[in-house]
């Protein structure tokens, strides 16, 4: 989380600093319309900068993933950038329209236009001739972007519709690129703020075209076939086993996007199996949480073809040789299942002795005997100490309960996958008791919108 906060704040501060370098007299302006010109340029740079970075992150690039801590963290930054673009863009729009309304209502008097020096640069002349078109198109693109970003933030908006509509932001973005190219102060293009803006616009435009051509993640997509389905009625979950072709392998704790219906789009699921090249099988455990997952039992069948994209994520249990405490809330148990299967395979085939102790807390509101039996067998095979807590029977898991159950908790690393609020509550509690949460509390932010 720290790195995505640094990236978000650093991006805004960096653009503001470059803009101030280009406008050293900004604080000398004394008129309302003089201030307006400066604010319009600054908010325009910030809004398109945030949108450009958001477009690039939408491509799911590989290289920055380790630094951010996984694609889940990158998507959180993508969301923040979208919200920032929405807020700053709204401010930009208000400064553009508000004074015009105030003049029309008689609240402000428009200053007399001073004579402008003639333009001798042919590029500047052409850009100036496009101002009216750029303003008009930019305004309508802004309205479209507002609606699309707002829909993306509404959790109840169906995923299948989100999948289809969110791509349209790329069209609005490309129109806003034209708006920026025409209306950005021409002198900026010869200054660092213009160079950086040009790079952002080029990268964002490329990302927008890739998104419109449905090319996101193409180099990580492989075909697969469903080989087995198993329903766990007690916990409303479905186990899906697939055989894939060309999969490069994955580490326990990573996730993939699976597509079984092209009209529905790709959905992210944590992989619940270790990787063995000789079998080339990947297993997902999917809980009925939304309109799509509730219908999977009826939609999927053995022998059906699917498309798998990945792997993604850095929730891979890398924290040295420290003891580990795993906490899986509900369907958040899946990365730990994969890790246990991996540990069991390594210890069995290589006669590797068990390493540092591992305690797994599985917190659930529902019970399925078959699912718990499988979980218990996986834990024993991997030499993991399993603690199952059913909310109605055992109460909620708290930091105090962890401390009393695991005496060496302060020397362990903690890996959490489950409801975000639950994880944040544990994080705050442990931090209050001196646990170094920034270094050794790992939480997957499994929310892709």
Kindly report whether the global pTM for this prediction surpasses the value 0.75.
Answer: yes
Q: Where are the domains of the chain?
A: 2-110+121-212, 218-312, 324-443
pLDDT digits 0-9 by tens, 96-127: 999 989 988 988 888 777 666 677 788 888 88
For the record, the structure tokens of 348 come out as 């069995």
Q: What average pLDDT does the structure give for the chain? A: 92
The C-alpha atoms of residue 37 and residue 248 are separated, in whole angstroms, by 53
- For residue 442, list its beta bridge partners: 415
Strands 385-390 and 358-364: parallel
Query: pLDDT of 62-81, one tens digit each?
Result: 999 999 999 999 999 999 99
Q: 2-110+121-212 in CATH: which number?
A: 1.20.120
- Cα 136 to Cα 42, 90, 129, 267: the distances in Å are 20, 16, 13, 37
Contact indicator for 145, 90 with CB cutoff of 8 Å: no
Distances (CA, A) of 296 to 181, 262, 269: 46, 14, 13
Q: What's the CA gap between 340 and 437, in Å, rounded?
A: 24
Unique residue bearing structure tokens 């790329």: 170
Written as six digits, the tokens of 432 are 């209050």
% residues pLDDT > 90 (the chain): 74
**Which tokens go with 402?**
């962890």
> Which structure tokens are listed for 81?
């950038």
- How confident is the model at residue 30, as a pLDDT? 80
259 token code pair: 């597509």
**How remote is the C-alpha of 351 from its chain's centroid?**
39
**Helices marked H in 221-368 — which ranges?**
296-299, 334-349
Helix (H, G, I), strand (E, B) or coil at 268: strand
Three-state secondary structure call for residue 305: strand
Please tell me the CATH superfamily of domain 218-312, with its number. Answer: Translation factors (2.40.30.10)
User: Is a pLDDT exceeding 90 seen at residue 291?
Assistant: no
Q: What was the pLDDT predicted at 115?
A: 61
Q: Using CA atoms, how far apart are residues 200 and 182, in angstroms rounded to an integer?
A: 15
Q: Where are the alpha helices (DSSP H) in 301-368?
A: 334-349
CATH of domain 324-443: 3.40.50.80
pLDDT over 60 (residue 433): yes
Q: How do residues 27-73 score in pLDDT, each as one tens digit?
A: 888 888 889 999 999 999 999 999 999 999 999 999 999 999 999 99
User: Is the pLDDT confidence value at 351 over 60?
Assistant: no
| pLDDT at residue number 114 | 67
Closest CA to 442 of 312, 330, 327: 327
């Amino acid at each position: 989380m720290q790195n995505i906060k640094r990236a978000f704040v650093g991006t805004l501060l960096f653009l503001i600093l470059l803009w101030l370098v280009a406008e050293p007299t900004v604080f000398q302006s004394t008129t309302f319309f003089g201030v307006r010109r400066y604010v319009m340029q600054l908010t325009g740079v910030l809004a398109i900068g945030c949108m450009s970075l958001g477009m690039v992150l939408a491509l799911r690039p590989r290289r920055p993933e380790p630094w951010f801590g996984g694609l889940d963290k990158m998507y959180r930054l993508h969301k923040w950038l979208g919200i920032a673009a929405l807020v700053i863009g709204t401010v930009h729009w208000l400064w553009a329209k508000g004074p015009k309304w105030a003049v029309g209502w008689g609240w402000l008097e428009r200053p007399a236009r001073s004579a402008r020096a003639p333009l001798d640069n042919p590029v500047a002349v052409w850009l100036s001739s496009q101002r009216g078109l750029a303003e008009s198109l930019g305004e309508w693109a802004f309205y479209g972007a507002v609606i699309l970003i707002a829909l993306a933030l509404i959790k109840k908006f169906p995923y299948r519709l989100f999948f289809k509509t969110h791509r349209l932001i790329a069209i609005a973005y490309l129109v806003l690129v034209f708006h920026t190219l025409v209306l950005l102060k021409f002198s900026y293009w010869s200054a660092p703020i213009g160079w950086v803006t040009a790079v952002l616009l080029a990268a964002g435009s490329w990302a927008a075209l890739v998104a419109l051509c449905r090319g996101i993640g193409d180099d990580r997509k492989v075909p697969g076939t469903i080989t087995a389905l198993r329903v766990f009625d007690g916990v409303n979950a479905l186990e899906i086993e697939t055989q894939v072709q060309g999969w490069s392998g994955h580490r326990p704790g990573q996730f993939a996007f699976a597509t079984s219906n092209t009209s529905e789009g790709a959905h992210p699921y944590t992989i619940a199996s270790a990787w063995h090249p000789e079998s080339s099988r990947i297993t997902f455990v999917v809980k009925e949480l939304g309109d799509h997952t509730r219908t999977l039992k009826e939609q999927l069948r053995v022998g059906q073809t699917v498309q798998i994209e990945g792997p993604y994520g850095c929730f891979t249990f890398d924290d040295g040789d420290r003891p580990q405490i795993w906490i899986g809330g509900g369907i958040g148990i899946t990365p730990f299942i994969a890790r246990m299967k991996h540990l069991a395979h390594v210890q069995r085939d290589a006669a590797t002795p068990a390493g540092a102790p591992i305690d797994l807390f599985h917190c659930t509101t529902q019970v399925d005997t078959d699912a718990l039996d499988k979980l218990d067998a996986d834990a024993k095979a991997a030499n993991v100490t399993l603690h199952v807590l059913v909310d109605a029977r055992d109460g909620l898991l708290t930091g105090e309960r962890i401390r009393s159950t695991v005496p060496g908790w302060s020397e362990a690393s903690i890996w959490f996958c489950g409801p975000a609020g639950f994880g944040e509550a544990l994080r705050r509690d442990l931090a209050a008791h001196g646990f170094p949460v920034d270094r050794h509390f790992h939480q997957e932010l499994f929310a892709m919108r």
